[in-house]
Amino acid sequence: ELVEAVWRMSGATGPVSEILSTIVEMVHAGSLIIDDIEDEATERRGRPALHLVCGLPLALNSGNWLWFWSEQLIERLDLAPERELEVRRCLTQTLLRCHHGQALDIATRVTELPQREIPSVVTAVTELKTGALMEFAARLTALVAGASPERVERLADGGKRIGMVLQMFDDLGSVVSEKRWNKGQEDLVGACPTWPWAWLAADLDPDSFARLQEQARGI
What is the full per-residue pLDDT of the chain (219 aa) written as tens digits?
999 999 999 988 889 999 999 999 999 999 999 999 998 888 888 889 999 999 999 999 999 999 999 999 999 999 999 999 999 999 999 999 999 999 999 999 999 999 999 999 999 999 999 999 999 999 999 999 999 999 999 999 999 999 999 999 999 999 999 888 888 888 998 899 999 999 999 999 999 999 999 999 988
| CB-CB contact of 139 with 91 (8 Å) | no
Q: Provide φ and ψ at 43, rounded to 5°.
A: -140, 145
pLDDT value, residue 184 = 87
Cα–Cα distance between 119 and 202 in angstroms, integer? 7
78: left (phi over 0), alpha (psi -120 to 50) or beta: left
Please give the Cα distance from 87 to 181 (Å, whole number). 38
Rounded Cα distance between 85 and 87, Å, is 5
Q: Write the Ramachandran bin of 12: left for phi over 0, alpha for psi from -120 to 50, otherwise beta.
A: beta
